[in-house]
């Protein structure tokens, strides 16, 4: 498939209550969200024509906006309906969806409470974050040069645009070195997350994952924890020192984009995707695609 820039694609985007042609969904260059990162968003997937855990994503979007001191001018029901309308208008069944809310361009200064809050929702076909081949053999991660900041310095519970700046920098650095992604530590030196996904480590029937006290507690992360318990695994949430990684046998990432992706390497540590990874990849895909599974 030929590469098409995001601003040159065809289709429809829900923009402030109306469906507009893809190329006409624009903001002004002096919008507050661009200059001061007063923007929040969601990443969610539709499987078989339905957005997985749509209301959870919508609730988090609204909560993220409130954390950044603005109110999205649509109810949760209206946002859910708009997401479904975007899928229908674009005739999409399996798709990635991006709702985004931001402060507009009425003023351009640090205070912006009088700026209009906008909401747009787009959807497009986007396969798994990592290729099928990479998923089966496990992806390679290096250590990120940037750390997740203290929750006293950032609104870490919001899915806010500004928090991803160091993720982009870390991802670029990893790709330049031939890695698929980077694993970030937090401000204390504990293992935190990848640039856009949570991380889990496996030893036997015990799965250990970092405590999300300074980074996002992902919706996919919580889903996976429930699925793992249903498959007989125990879950331990705690602070993990990087030198502990040598004690684990398997490792995987979770996220809307990544879904469940096994990891074969983190810096100097190696892992072999095995029973736990296979079990949880399959369990997650069954969870998100129940209608398709039933039809087949």
User: Catalytic amino acids?
Assistant: 159
Residue labelled with tokens 């109306």: 18
E strands, 66-205, in order: 95-103, 117-124, 139-148, 181-186, 191-194, 198-203
Task: Check if the beta carbon of residue 253 is closer than 8 Å to that of residue 140.
Answer: no
Q: What is the dihedral of CA 111, 169, 99, 112, to 10 degrees?
A: 0
Q: Which of 110, 105, 107, 40 is nearest to 70 (CA)?
A: 40
Q: Cα–Cα distance between 60 and 84 in angstroms, integer?
A: 17
CA distances 215 to 18, 155, 193, 207, 231, Å, are: 33, 9, 8, 19, 26
Q: What are phi and psi of 245, to 5 degrees?
A: -60, -25
CA distances 175 to 2, 48, 142, Å, are: 21, 32, 9
CA distances 97 to 10, 45, 124, 255, Å, are: 15, 6, 7, 13
């Amino acid at each position: 498939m030929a590469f098409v820039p995001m601003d040159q694609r065809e289709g429809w985007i829900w923009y402030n209550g109306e469906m507009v042609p893809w190329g006409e969904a624009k903001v002004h260059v002096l919008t507050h969200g661009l200059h001061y990162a007063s923007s929040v968003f969601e990443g969610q997937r539709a499987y078989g024509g339905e957005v997985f855990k749509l209301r959870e994503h919508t609730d988090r979007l609204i909560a993220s906006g409130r954390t950044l001191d603005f109110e999205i001018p649509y109810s949760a029901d209206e946002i859910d309906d708009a997401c479904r309308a975007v899928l229908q208008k674009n005739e999409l069944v399996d798709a990635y969806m991006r709702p985004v809310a931001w402060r507009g361009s009425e003023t351009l200064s640090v205070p912006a409470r009088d700026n209009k809050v906008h909401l747009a929702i787009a959807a497009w076909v986007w396969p798994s974050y990592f290729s099928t081949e990479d998923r089966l053999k496990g992806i390679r991660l290096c250590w990120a040069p940037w750390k997740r900041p203290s929750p006293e310095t950032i609104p870490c519970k919001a899915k806010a645009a500004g928090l991803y700046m160091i993720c982009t920098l870390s991802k670029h650095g990893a790709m330049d070195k031939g890695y698929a992604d980077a694993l970030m530590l937090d401000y204390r030196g504990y293992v935190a997350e990848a640039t856009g996904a949570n991380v889990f480590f496996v030893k036997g029937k015990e799965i250990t994952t970092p405590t999300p006290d300074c980074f996002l507690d992902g919706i996919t992360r919580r889903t996976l924890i429930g699925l793992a318990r249903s498959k007989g695994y125990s879950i331990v949430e705690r602070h993990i020192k990087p030198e502990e990684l040598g004690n684990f046998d398997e490792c995987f990432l979770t996220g809307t984009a990544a879904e469940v992706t096994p990891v074969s390497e983190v810096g100097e540590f190696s892992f072999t995707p095995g029973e736990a990874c296979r079990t949880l990849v399959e369990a997650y895909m069954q969870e998100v695609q129940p209608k398709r599974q039933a039809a087949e």
